[in-house]
Structure 1
């Protein structure tokens, strides 16, 4: 079993507390995990959130397993690009990085400088099928609006050494077979050039840290 610290980065609208159960489950499995607090003030830019991830990577005693969720798969990959020597593996949970020159996460309307949680309508179906009403209400109440300069930040890479880092794509609301088909069709930017790419299935919706924390922790602990 690997001994690297696991650094956890949540996707849009999530604060670091979303990882509480996953961290506890990883501790049971003998793995240390640290969730990243992402700044989200009005003047926060994509570079500021990347700096928070890099700080967590650099504070680790050795190399880390860096896990990004959803849009934050992009933050994880930007960190891998910036610090390839400090990252042993990258886990991408329910997402993949944006292409060079693309927007980080410009998915929903911006109002008053923020991209607010849009409600559950865009996520009906496989994304949110395993969230009960209590979980949906708690998620919406705790949702952290995403600063405009983060959502619309331009993704820039600097080092091809990121492609040497082993990557595991954890597939929650879709299957590895679907992900493989998207990869073959050229629909997953950055991943075709990764030299060591694995895919793992996870029977859950888009937020397995809330609905399947033990199962997600088991997969992360195996990396």
Structure 2
């Protein structure tokens, strides 16, 4: 049995993993979808990027988890990559799902086309609002799935996007799987392409869009199951 800690990207909470978690549990795994501070049911909690890293580390330690596969989608690859380093021998593997990856001393916005995001963060609440429905076109999502993402998503706390990551060793030393969703662009980000040169990293492609926990939950659950076997 593997312990999975699932962390969704910007605007989303633990609810985003409902179908993936059900499939993994059916396969006999222990699954812990996690809502980060400042989002969903934790929306009232102030949060920066290091708050999110600590959210993940605290969840692993609170539950006494070992043989852990940490899964980070989109934005959450940034805190998940840092948390993977900090949980030490508890880690089995880290899986980045079409995500950004942390670089020591750099923020999420440093490696992302960010002018429109920075403009949003200048608003009084300092948060990145959920995208409009049209932004999800061409991502292999049904109208119902888009409606759920848009209506249940919550503004993303701005400090998590502007604070720098903190890493003590090269990310390429961690055992990792990178899941590239090709409808969101065929090529991985340059930082990811560099990390994939490591013997400890593998690339898996999905023929779907950026939100595979909604568009292809069964396939994503299978990839997560198989990634643990290769750890």
TM-score of the superposed pair, with normalisation by structure 2: 0.82
Q: Distance in 1 between matches of 2:187 and 2:193?
A: 15
Q: Distance in 2 between matches of 1:60 and 1:159?
A: 24
Partner of 1:9: 7
Pairing 1:139–2:152 present: no
Partner of 2:165: 155
| Superposed counterparts of 1:139-218, under 5 Å | 139-160=149-170, 162-173=171-182, 178-179=187-188, 186-188=190-192, 191=195, 194-218=198-222
Contact 1:165–1:194, Cα closer than 8 Å, also in 2: no
Q: Which moves more between the two structures, 92-101 or 4-13?
A: 92-101
Distance 1:153 1:193, change over 3 A: farther
Q: Distance in 1 between matches of 2:205 and 2:193?
A: 20
Deviation at 1:63, TM superposition (A): 2.6
More helix by share: 2
Partner of 2:41: none
Distance 1:13 1:205, change over 3 A: same
Q: Distance in 2 between matches of 1:172 and 1:135?
A: 17
Deviation at 1:175, TM superposition (A): 9.1
Contact 1:46–1:149, Cα closer than 8 Å, also in 2: yes
Q: Distance in 1 between matches of 2:150 and 2:186?
A: 31
**Per-residue displacement from partner, 1:75-102 (whole Å, max 9, x unpaired)?**
1101022223221101110123132222
